Amino acid sequence: MKKYDRRGNPVFYGAQGAIDGLDRAADMLAAYKADTLGAIDAVIADHPDFALAHAVRAGALATATDKAFEDEALKSLTAAEALAAKTNEREGLHIAACRAWLDGDLAKGVELWGKASMLYPRDLTALQFAHAGDFFLGYAHMLRDRVARVLPQWDRSVPGYGFVHGMYAFGLEESGDYAAAEEHGRQAVEINAEDGWAVHAVAHVLEMQGRTKEGVTYLANSAAGWEPGSGFAYHLWWHKALFHLDTNDAKAALKLFDEKVSAGGFGQALELIDGSALLWRLQLLGHDVGKRWDDLVEKWESRVDHGYYVFNDVNAMMAFAATSNVAAQNKLIASVRKAANGKGTNAMMSREVGLPACEGFAAFGRGEYAKAVDLLLPVRGKANRYGGSHAQRDMFSWTLTEAAIRAGDRALADAFVAERLASKPESPVNRAWAQRTEKLTRKQAA
């Protein structure tokens, strides 16, 4: 008899207990629970011939975009491929998608997970992997449209309905439709308070609209839902730290770094990215971050040689530039240059964005502010090509603005400040930049 999961997707493997176990793991994955891998491992321990369980484990590890997880991801993928004779079309697409991703063709991987989600619109995990892929590739509109493709096939009676709205909310936000994003995000959180991705979508809306005080309150008040058992909480706390920073409360931002953002020990690249991005902003604004870079530098150094995902490398460079670690900077630039000459999606990202960005941040670290502007300015408009969110890539605008002011370049500083004030006129950070730029103007006019 043909077997199905609880969302009605066909499963080749015959043991209902295994299918139910993977369903539970899929829900945990969608809620970004920390022990998702443990749940998948428990299924595999009892059912080592369950190909889809191996493929989902591989996908979860692969979409963490961290070289440190690559061996484990490949191990699971190889196990899934060895079971190819015991799979159906949907499961075959999961395996092929993961193979393409781990072979370095991220774009093909996303399309294959995306194909699985179109052919099987209630395959929550395929949609989630494609959604994550769209994020890492900077496909802002696909974050929205890939979810829109399947949304009509979902209703409240289908388990996981809220998660689909949470994904849609984030896609709407990255596409600039903030009102609809907030509506879908809040609706998803109402359905499931543990849906950290939906909370994240609302947080991004508040970030983009400069609603900083609301952001602080929203994340504080919703944390009881999304924090327990989460493997994603560090990022939501990072967002809260950004809100504090933009209300001129660096002390609260540093406290969050110490107690929450660093709580996982920076065991994965995604945590390291948030650590770097927060400390860089704090340091850029002139706040003393003490010895907080040390741990980040050490952990980034172990990842320098990888040429794996250049978004990680640029955030590593911030740590090396902020601490004037020239040896690490040079090693990293050599590695990114090598990756830029290679093949696959990361080669394009490294050429287009990663290499000039790394060189730009290194120049800033050396105090060569005019050079930093020259290197970072051409990257600003196309930075989406190396993935991440608007809020993350705002780093380019922050650094360009500060560099132009420090370089005494009034014309560019005026332009960068005007750009920032247009979207966040009330921001104390933006207003402080405006005031410094005005002083620069008066000094030059005197």
C-alpha 266/C-alpha 242 separation (Å) is: 18
Tell me the closest approach of the beta carbon of residue 200 to Fe ion, in angstroms: 6
Tell me the closest approach of the beta carbon of residue 369 to Fe ion, in angstroms: 28
Tell me the closest approach of the beta carbon of residue 370 to Fe ion, in angstroms: 31
Tell me the closest approach of the beta carbon of residue 263 to Fe ion, in angstroms: 17
The contact mask relative to Fe ion for 351-390 (x = CB under 5 A, - = no) is --------------------------------------x-
- Give 194 or 359: the residue with its C-beta nearer to Fe ion: 194
Q: List b or e across 41-54, with b for residues whose CB sees 16 or more CB atoms inside 10 angstroms.
A: eebbeebeebbbbb
Residue type, 420: R
- Give 202 or 304: the residue with its C-beta nearer to Fe ion: 202
- Give 199 or 375: the residue with its C-beta nearer to Fe ion: 199
DSSP code for 8: S
Pairing of strands 3-4, 10-11: antiparallel
- Give 235 or 292: the residue with its C-beta nearer to Fe ion: 235
In a 10 Å sphere around its CB, with 0-12 CB exposed, 13-18 middle and 19+ buried, how is residue 179 labelled? exposed
Q: How far is CA 303 from CA 181, 234, 313, 321, in A?
A: 35, 20, 8, 16
DSSP code for 69: G
Residues 379-438 that bind Fe ion (CB under 5 A): 389
Tell me the closest approach of the beta carbon of residue 253 to Fe ion, in angstroms: 15
Give the list of residues 6+ apart from residue 435 with CB closer than 8 angstroms, or none: none
Q: Is 288 in a helix, a strand, or coil?
A: coil
Tell me the closest approach of the beta carbon of residue 391 to Fe ion, in angstroms: 5
- Give 99 or 239: the residue with its C-beta nearer to Fe ion: 239
Residues 155-184 that bind Fe ion (CB under 5 A): none
Residues 7-26 that bind Fe ion (CB under 5 A): none
Task: Measure the CA angle with vertex 5, ends 194 and 232; round to 5°.
Answer: 25
Under a CB-based contact definition with an 8 Å cutoff, are residues 273 and 312 in contact? yes
Residues 114-143 that bind Fe ion (CB under 5 A): none
Could you tell me how far CA 243 lies from the centroid of its own chain? 18
Q: How far is CA 427 from CA 216, 260, 433, 434, in A?
A: 14, 24, 10, 10
Give the list of residues 6+ apart from residue 430 with CB closer than 8 angstroms, or none: 417, 420, 421, 424
Smallest Cα–Cα separation from 95: which of 113, 71, 117, 111?
Answer: 113
- Give 92 or 196: the residue with its C-beta nearer to Fe ion: 196
Tell me the closest approach of the beta carbon of residue 211 to Fe ion, in angstroms: 15
- Give 389 or 397: the residue with its C-beta nearer to Fe ion: 389
Under a CB-based contact definition with an 8 Å cutoff, are residues 101 and 62 in contact? yes
C-alpha 18/C-alpha 335 separation (Å) is: 43
- Give 76 or 389: the residue with its C-beta nearer to Fe ion: 389
Tell me the closest approach of the beta carbon of residue 438 to Fe ion, in angstroms: 32
Q: List b or e across 100-117, with b for residues whose CB sees 16 or more CB atoms inside 10 angstroms.
A: bbbebbbebbbbbbbbbb
Tell me the closest approach of the beta carbon of residue 223 to Fe ion, in angstroms: 15
> Binders of Fe ion: how many residues, by CB under 5 A?
1
Residues 62-101 that bind Fe ion (CB under 5 A): none
- Give 23 or 274: the residue with its C-beta nearer to Fe ion: 274
User: Where is 132: in which H helix or E strand?
Assistant: helix 124-137
Residue facing Fe ion at closest CB distance: 389
Tell me the closest approach of the beta carbon of residue 278 to Fe ion, in angstroms: 12
Smallest Cα–Cα separation from 336: which of 386, 298, 403?
Answer: 386
Residues 257-276 that bind Fe ion (CB under 5 A): none
- Give 65 or 389: the residue with its C-beta nearer to Fe ion: 389
- Give 350 or 389: the residue with its C-beta nearer to Fe ion: 389
The backbone torsions φ and ψ at residue 63, rounded to the nearest 5 degrees and listed phi first, read -80, 10
- Give 62 or 219: the residue with its C-beta nearer to Fe ion: 219
Tokens (6 digits) for 62: 């692969």
Tell me the closest approach of the beta carbon of residue 201 to Fe ion, in angstroms: 9
Tell me the closest approach of the beta carbon of residue 150 to Fe ion, in angstroms: 23
Binding residues vs Fe ion (CB under 5 A): 389
